Amino acid sequence: MRRILHHTGEAIHRYNLIDDKDKIMVGLSGGKDSWTLLDVLLQLKRKAPIDFEIIAVIIDANFGMDYSKAIEYLKENNIPYHVERTTINEIVKSNPPKNPCFMCSRLRRGVIYHLAKKLKCNKIALGHHLDDAMETLLLNIFYSSKLLGLKPKVYAEDKVNIVIRPLIHVREADIIEYIKTKKFPIVPEDCAFKYKVSKRVKMKNLLQDLSEENKFLYISMKNIMDELYTIKKKRKIVL
């Protein structure tokens, strides 16, 4: 936990992710990453010299996932939350695209941006970690000819909401180990389309193989992404 807190605090400070009087919407999917993000931000909030609000938001896409235990946990721990019921499943099923994950993601983002305004949140925190960022960077290099990864802080497509990724320096392996010590009510993923992004899986496997040969791989990749962000920090990247 100390390592996760250190890397999260480092990212928040380096990229100025959180300011005084912020109201932050934390996207809570119910998976390990989003639970860790929420828990870490709550811990930092108690220690931070600034004052900011946190509200956990669950987007129910109507895939049949049971969020009841997650909601119970939020209530018992007095964590502000909001559950938004949607018909994303029905919309995607009515006109199945070649890549249902892409369409589902776009619809979710639209709901999130709308809710941010409704709940008067000025920032949206997502649970992407270092492994996600590295995989995205390689995907863009190999398949899109772009030197572009996940940014720690960006303006969303509506040019109003600001998306932050406080876990951007945190390894997925640390998150996996951390949740073993907690009692988060993990919500099992139950996608109606059972669709896997094979290219991303390939990038994950490639990084795993390379990291076995080079123990400094993740440090090197993090430094590269930090350098990219520093160089292009004035550019607004669309998610």
Does the residue 105 lie in any domain? Answer: yes
φ, ψ of residue 154 to 5 degrees: the values are: -145, 155
DSSP code of residue 24 = E
DSSP code of residue 77 = T
Q: State residue 193's pLDDT score.
A: 60
Does the residue 238 lie in any domain? Answer: no
Confidence of residue 17 (pLDDT cuts 50, 70, 90): very high
Does the residue 48 lie in any domain? Answer: yes
pLDDT surpasses 60 at 19: yes
Distance of CA 185 to the CA centre of its chain: 18
Confidence of residue 235 (pLDDT cuts 50, 70, 90): very low
Percent of the chain with pLDDT over 90: 60
* Cα-based angle 71, 73, 78 (whole degrees, multiple of 5): 95
Q: State residue 192's pLDDT score.
A: 59
Confidence of residue 95 (pLDDT cuts 50, 70, 90): confident
Q: Are strands 81-85 and 23-27 parallel, antiparallel or unpaired?
A: unpaired
Can you give the residue range of the structural domain that contains 27?
A: 2-231
The CATH number that applies at residue 119 is 3.40.50.620
pLDDT surpasses 60 at 81: yes
Q: State residue 92's pLDDT score.
A: 81
Does the residue 17 lie in any domain? Answer: yes
Does the residue 237 lie in any domain? Answer: no
Secondary structure (3-state) at 82: strand
Contacts of 49 (CB under 8 A, 6+ apart): none
pLDDT surpasses 90 at 94: no
Distance of CA 22 to the CA centre of its chain: 18
Does the residue 208 lie in any domain? Answer: yes
Q: Which tens digit of pLDDT belongs to each residue from 163-200?
A: 999 999 999 999 999 999 998 999 987 665 655 557 88
Q: Which tens digit of pLDDT belongs to each residue from 43-59?
A: 999 999 999 999 999 99
Contacts of 48 (CB under 8 A, 6+ apart): 18
* Phi and psi based region of residue 105 (left: phi greater than 0; alpha: psi -120 to 50; beta: remaining): alpha
Q: Which residues of 69-84 are buried (b: 16+ CB within 10 A; e: fewer)?
A: ebbebbeeeebebbeb
Give the number of other Cβ atoms within 10 Å of residue 163's Cβ.
26
Q: Which tens digit of pLDDT belongs to each residue from 112-170?
A: 999 999 999 999 999 999 999 999 999 999 988 888 888 999 987 777 789 999 999 99
Count the domains in the chain.
Answer: 1
Q: State residue 38's pLDDT score.
A: 98
Average pLDDT, the chain: 88
Residue with the two structure tokens 């180990």: 177
Q: Are strands 53-60 and 23-27 parallel, antiparallel or unpaired?
A: parallel
Confidence of residue 231 (pLDDT cuts 50, 70, 90): very low
Does the residue 236 lie in any domain? Answer: no
Q: State residue 59's pLDDT score.
A: 95
Does the residue 239 lie in any domain? Answer: no
Residue with the two structure tokens 């993923």: 189
